Structure 1
């Protein structure tokens, strides 16, 4: 689980009357949702702040995937209550996202400081909710699933700044893995119409976005409606996005092996814009555990997919998700997972101890694995995954990679960008290249990043004797 603050856009003119603080837990889809909540509230005079003590309106955008994630929210709400009391109640507190969807009534009961609760398909109603909450506390919205209403109601203009952006194209899940709450908190699979996605992507490109990451709980199950009423695949969407001027890079996450279609695999070989980095979760390397998880695929199908993907795109780097300690997992099952990891050879991966979620089938299964056993397995798995990640990063030394520079670094004129493989790349004397894609010689690879240098110095405005506003 990650926690992020909504990226702050530059503001001009007098300070706004109202300040908005959003804290985001969990996946990239929540980051996108938080950005869109800020967009919805901007016409009401709310501008974002990174200082929660200055906020008039606080939103915790929550994740329900893991037990500790939910408990972190309740802990944070305790701090928010103290801050609200210190301001004599002059602060509105909302809980949004998947915990709000699953535990809305419990949140209102457990933490009286919360003014409203809104599910992930209803945050477009925040302006209306704020008006009603001013009269009566305690509204809960979002028990139904109508994402089409949400996207239709969102502002056309986004406050996104910078050269990269998330773009939600698909929501919900029909897979019903036995460990997962997503089908219950996000609803059934639903895809945005092709034209709507392309319109938003063009608007992002017009704002200087060079790379989009397409988001969905099962993003490669995308089947948005085309103008002719037929369904478009994710591959068709990728081809269309690659035609948008200025949009040079396309990524997507998170994928399911059962939705990795032939045309999508072929697109990876055809489209330079489709980055050679694929997050394809498998969760376990044991066929027996995969059946208990209701994954509807086995390890051999996963191996076959990897082989076909790498045949289409030989430089493809793989990422994955793993759960250890699933109910009934034996040491032999775990060894099968280690074997799968060794055969695939991941560039990066996420791994977790199984966490029972109320209402899911796995929570009621027998043979729950002892925590100390799960912890030991997690440490062993993470050691192997880290070894592979370090080796992959080190192997980039001596290569030339195109880097999209995103932001300034901590030292001097250093800038930080992303490689095609999503690695963070640190380069000196490159702060004038933010928003540009530039070939970089990779000097070394570390555990979590690469160090590079410009192949040929690119002159900055200062070098050319041009005055720089604010310099």
Structure 2
């Protein structure tokens, strides 16, 4: 990106946060001292607008404002001194990263972190809406928090994240869980200090959910987990509108950060000694399509190659946006790893069509061939849904044969469940659960077999492992991941945690490798 492009992009997209005005889609309701029916009536007669597919698909690429001057309001600085917060996170890496930001904001307000709910003054559940099971877990946790709230009325209990962007979820909380103090969505995390102030000093429930996509707030504080691996958001939202997916409604349209802001953040992480960075986006390889100049993930990854950080990954990709230039850049190697997660969802072109994935089985296989031609040693993993409405036995068999043909070394597999607010939720969920489970069982057996077979090639090989910490099963054993994202367990001194070391594989399993430290080869970076 040249200087002219950079300046043009900033002129179009950058504003000062003092220009932020209340939005017609911004709803702040204080509604606790009311009956549940009155609560719901007042809330949904407000300016809040629930997800609407037709409107969402027609939305234009309005200029997204970028703000560089986030600050804690003076009256909220130090208000958490001597107090503690706990954030429980559900769902994807994006939610994990949002938690890092909220933890950063709360820390700047004076709070310290705790893992004990009974010791916390603020409890936030950062929720996921992508699967029904995730929602059930959250509502189960909400139920567990009620006695705590009755015992300690001063504790602030908040629900945030993707579930908060769903009308049905907010409706259910208002009606059945009025003890909740705070509900806010994915677009207004930067307003956490103001929301806590409302919850702390007001007597009513605080509900702030913006239907409009959020701006990009660049200087939000973060408290990252550890000093080894880091997540870096490069874009937000998704424009694909797959018929089963709630993400475009909960996360909004695609909006990219400016390249120089991402590059600066990664350089800063490298200077702090981080060994691995993962670039995040709901549809990460659509990065840059909304910028006012020509710049995509390929160009950004080329910049990552120049930064002195050992490993760079990105997730999650959409096959439709995986272009030739990106393949060419990743194939250059260096710190760009050739482990690619490429969700296919189904091996049937007919099912892909009704999923609105916008590619066919043949398109996907052509893309895989391009990737393998450029990177013969690439490791591919994927996501697959079984039991989509009207999926026949023959169409499921196409998924099985695609799994074998591509040679995926791992896969996240799911039974289809309808998500309210998505197009497929209006269709008959007509595959019996016993059929779904049988298909999932067969698919998982194939996934396990292919993973075990892929692991065998590492027998007696020396691999480079980024040591992340003690094994979950044995504190005397260290564990970490190879550049191919294979988990390795081995005995070694604990002062190697955070280092990249060479390990000889002595035993292979379905999902993990056992190894022995190669004493003389510790990579110092």
TM-score by length of 2: 0.80
CA distance in 2, matches of 1:458, 1:438: 6
Q: Distance in 1 between matches of 2:475 and 2:186?
A: 41
Is 1:110 aligned to 2:176, yes or no? yes
Q: Provide structure 1 residue ranges, at least 5 long, that are not aligned to the other structure.
A: 1-14, 460-471
1:326 counterpart = 2:388? yes
Provide the residue aligned with 1:68 in structure 2. Answer: 133
**Separation in 1, partners of 2:162, 2:183:** 10
Whether 1:163 and 2:228 are equivalent positions in the alignment is yes
Deviation of residue 411 (structure 1)?
Answer: 4.3
Task: Work out whether residues 32 and 166 of structure 1, in 8 Å CA contact, stay in contact via their aligned partners in 2.
Answer: yes
Q: Is 1:339 aligned with 2:401?
A: yes
Aligned residues: 440
Out of 135, 151, 160, the position equivalent to 1:96 is: 160
Range with greater deviation from structure 2 (394-403 or 186-195): 394-403
1:399 and 1:441 in contact (8 A); partners too: yes
- 1:67-111, CA deviations, whole angstroms, 9 ceiling, x for partnerless residues? 121121111001011122222x13111111110111334323221
2:300 aligned residue: 237
Residue segments in structure 2 that go unaligned for 5+ positions in a row: 1-79
Instruction: Pick one of 198, 203, 206 that aligns with 1:136.
Output: 203
- 2:331 equivalent among 261, 269, 287: 269
Is residue 194–residue 224 contact of structure 1 (8 Å, CA) maintained in 2? no
User: How far apart in 1 are the matches of 2:289 and 2:189?
Assistant: 22
- Distance 1:443-1:147 versus aligned 2 partners, 3 A rule: farther
Task: Verify the 8 A CA contact 1:148 1:192 in the aligned structure 2.
Answer: no
Q: Is the 8 A contact 2:301 2:330 kept in 1?
A: no
Partner of 1:5: none
Deviates more, 1:420-429 or 1:19-28: 420-429
Task: State the Cα deviation string for residues 347-378 of structure 1 (Å, max 9, x = none).
Answer: 11101111101121111124621111111111
Is the CA contact (8 Å cut-off) linking 2:279 and 2:312 kept in structure 1?
yes
Distance 1:404 1:16, change over 3 A: farther
How far the C-alpha of 1:272 sits from its partner, in A, is 2.0
Contact 2:281 2:315 in 1 (8 A): yes
CA separation of 1:19 and 1:283: change in aligned 2, threshold 3 A: same
CA distance in 2, matches of 1:232, 1:192: 11
Out of 272, 278, 296, which is 1:207 matched to? 272
Deviation at 1:178, TM superposition (A): 0.6
Residues 1:438 and 1:313: Cα distance change in structure 2 (over 3 Å): same
Distance in 2 separating the partners of 1:341 and 1:259: 21
Q: Residues 412 and 143 from structure 1, CA distance in 2 versus in 1: closer, same or farther, beyond 3 angstroms?
A: closer
How far apart, in 2, do the equivalents of 1:345 and 1:430 lie?
A: 36
* SS at structure 1 position matched to 2:391: coil
Cα 1:447–1:188 shift into 2, 3 Å:
same
Of the candidates 87, 90, 105, which is equivalent to residue 25 of structure 1? 90
Between the two structures, name the one with larger relative contact order (CA 8 Å, sep ≥ 6). 2
Which of 388, 403, 423 is equivalent to 2:465?
A: 403
Q: State the distance in 2 between where 1:258 and 1:225 align.
A: 16
1:417 aligns with 2:480: yes
Residue of structure 1 equivalent to 2:147:
82
Q: CA deviation at 1:160?
A: 4.3
Taking only aligned residues, the RMSD between alpha carbons, in angstroms, comes to: 2.0
Q: What does 1:258-297 align with in structure 2 at a 5 Å threshold?
A: 258-297=320-359
Q: How many angstroms does 1:224 deviate by?
A: 7.2
In the TM superposition, what is the alpha-carbon distance from 1:415 to its structure 2 partner?
1.9
Larger mean Cα displacement after TM superposition, 74-83 or 402-411: 402-411
How many Å separate the matches in 2 of 1:253 and 1:283? Answer: 15
Contact 1:192–1:224 (CA under 8 A) maintained in structure 2 = no
Q: 1:137 to 1:442 in 2, by over 3 A?
A: farther
In structure 2, relative to structure 1, the CA distance for the partners of 1:26 and 1:44 (3 Å cut) is: same
Give per-residue Cα distances to partners, 1:40-77, cap 9 Å, x unaligned.
Answer: 11111111111122111111111111112112111100
Q: What secondary structure is seen at the aligned counterpart in 2 of 1:443?
A: strand
Per-residue CA distance 1:126-178 (angstroms, 9 max, x = gap): 111000111133222232344434x23512x6444221011111111111111
Distance 1:300 1:117 in 2: 44
Q: Give me the whole-angstrom Cα distance separating, in 1, the residues matched to 2:384 and 2:117.
A: 34
Query: Which residue does 2:516 correspond to in 1?
Result: 453
Q: After superposition, what is the alpha-carbon deviation per residue over 1:384-418, rounded to whole angstroms, capped at 9, x for unaligned?
A: 11111122123211212111111133646532111
In structure 2, the residue corresponding to 1:455 is in which secondary structure? strand
Distance 1:446 1:137 in 2: 54
What residue is the counterpart of 1:39 in the other structure?
A: 104
Q: TM-score, normalised by structure 1?
A: 0.89
What is the 5 A alignment of 1:183-202? 183-202=248-267
| Contact 1:225–1:231 (CA under 8 A) maintained in structure 2 | no
- Which residue among 317, 331, 345 is the counterpart of 2:379? 317
